[in-house]
A and B are shown apart, each in its own frame.
Chain A
Amino acid sequence: MALYSDKVMDHFRNPRNVGVIENPDGVGEVGNAKCGDIMKIYLKIENDVIVDVKFETFGCGSAIASSSMATELIKGKPVSEAMKLTNKAVAEALDGLPAHKLHCSVLAEEAIQKAVQDYYDRNGIAYDAAAFPKGEGCPFCHA
């Protein structure tokens, strides 16, 4: 299908890191079923390094592919590096997304940041709240 790059279709057809982590160190959920996309990221963190990451996604092909790619990009990386992952980097790693699907990569970025925030909260680690998504509704639709 010409709508998506081969990379997107590969990650959509064979998503990496799908599932749930029992007793995770951080969980982040973003999106809204009303808009048609929800992403949930689970993190397992040891010594500030993301040793395992899993995702669950309700959404279109690019939402599933963006989640899959984002988890691959942060697995084995220090938390601080995961925090720097941008939606642009996710989209680029997928060889691009159609313009009206770019929000899927934003959701991936935000889901990771929220999971990290949850990890900080659970462990009483201080952080600058301004660096994290507010998670107030969906900026892309009416929901």
Chain B
Amino acid sequence: MHIYLDNAATTKMSETALAAMLPYFREQYGNPSSLYSFGQHAHEALTDARERIARQLHCEAREITFTSGGSEADNQAIVSAARIGERKGKRHIVSTAFEHHAVLHTLSKLEKEGFEVTLLPVHENGIVQPEEVEAAIRPETCLVTVMYANNEIGTIQPIEEMGRICRAKGVLFHTDAVQAVGHLPIDVEKQNIDLLSLSAHKFHGPKGIGALYARKGIPLTTLVEGGAQERGKRGGTENVPAIVGMAAALEEACQSMEEERAKMTQLRDRLIQGLSQIPHSVLNGDADSRLPGNVSFCFEGIEGESLLLLLDDKGISASSGSACTSGALDPSHVLLAIGRPHEIAHGSLRLTLSRETTQKEIDDTIEAVKQVVAYLRQMSPVWRDLENGKLSFVIQ
């Protein structure tokens, strides 16, 4: 038995996407930059994919730049906005405490160059308040970057409102939409988004490919120097099969989005309900404004890595924000940002569903988690002290 519940980490490629890619490995393998017709076939595939992706985001094809994935798109979006700001003497950026490291590390780099960064609080429900974004914007702010939906706790941010605020104030607005694209409806026009990052393998497309949407008129800074590919904004021969696969996967995901979303939300809530029966457990992040596939819990008195390993023994692939799973000293910055104390953040579990997840898998997982949590608690000195009153429960 294998139950895969780590779809926020990566998803299984869809058959449609795989089938779309295959001809571009051995049949249409030309270089899109080549002048001869064989190369031009590949170029047409690239143009077609760009148009199809643009259609799903409600933007123009020329506003899409292909990248190696979400991280590169985040890096390029932020560096580009910083360079634009710098030219006007604007060196302040607003972001949040629970962004992906592709954003946070890029911001730290800019701080070393003299930029000032304000990281907004994300509150216990994991949602950034648009009013706080507005209040943080200064005359010298060049960029606001807030993720569309958080990768660990799944909370969806009020992007449209933030976009409106930024547009009114003349500040560029970027959103890392890696967890949202293909799962939630996106309309960059309506939502006032200037820059948006996406990654194909989060919506059943191939790994190693992503895109950056940049509203026309926003000059991008080139991070990968090379040829004139991507209008000079990203050197290197285009990964044609992956780009074609990404377009196919995105179209497929968007076509069935409403139906899959309803189904996944129902299973997600079933899982949340099941895990809530475990005493002294808590759901991380808002219960409603939440990705259809995300379930994130903390269990008091246990540590996440041992929980993952024992679930793995039962055939369940899951993830945790425990420090031990990452090799870092501190537990997940996301869980700390929503106010979970260290000792609680260590006992976290993230289960992320896909459109292929079944009700039986959910029910089996609830049982397995219950068993493993109980087993680990009975050997935990922390749990013993909590039970005999030497320590007080943080999670009621």
- Residues on A lying within 8 angstroms of B by beta carbon are 1, 9, 12-13, 15, 18-20, 29, 33-40, 56-64, 98, 100-101, 140-143
Chain B residues proximal to chain A, CB less than 8 Å: 301-306, 309-310, 312-313, 322-325, 327, 329-331, 341-343, 346, 379-384
**Residue contact A38 to B306, C-beta cutoff 8 Å:** no
Name the B residues within 8 Å of A37 (CB-CB): 303
Nearest CB in chain A: distance from B134 CB, A = 34
Asked whether A33 and B342 contact (CB < 8 A) given A100-B327, A142-B330, the answer is: yes
Q: Point out the residue from A13, A60, A142 that lies within 8 Å of B305, measured CB to CB.
A: A60
A34 B342 Cβ-Cβ under 8 A: yes
| Secondary structure type dominating chain B contacts | helix
Are A61 and B306 neighbours in the complex by a CB distance under 8 Å?
yes
Residues of B within 8 A of A36 (CB): 303, 322-324, 331, 342-343, 346
Give chain B residues whose Cβ lies under 8 Å from the Cβ of A12. Answer: 306, 309
If A57-B379, A58-B303 touch, whether A13 touches B329 (CB-CB below 8 Å) is: no
Are the CB atoms of B309 and A61 closer together than 8 Å? yes
Q: Name the A residues within 8 Å of B379 (CB-CB).
A: 15, 18-19, 56-57, 64
Q: How far is the CA of A140 from the CA of B384 in the complex (A)?
A: 24
Cα of A37 to Cα of B304 in the assembled complex, Å: 11
A67 to chain B, nearest CB (A): 9
Query: Once bound together, how far apart are the Cα atoms of A39 and B384, in whole Å?
Result: 12
Question: Could you tell me the distance between the alpha carbons of A40 and B380 in the complex, rounded to whole angstroms?
Answer: 9
- In the complex, which residue of chain B has the Cβ closest to the Cβ of A19? B379
List chain A residues, Cβ under 8 A from B384: 20, 56
- A57: contacting residue among B304, B323, B381, CB under 8 A: B381
Give Cα distance in the complex from A33 to B327, angstroms.
17
In the bound assembly, the distance between CA atoms of A141 and B331 in angstroms comes to: 11
Which of chain B's residues have a CB closer than 8 A to the CB of A143?
Answer: 342
Given A12-B309, A61-B309, answer yes or no on A40-B342 (Cβ-Cβ < 8 Å).
no
**Chain B residues positioned under 8 Å from A56 (CB to CB):** 379-381, 384
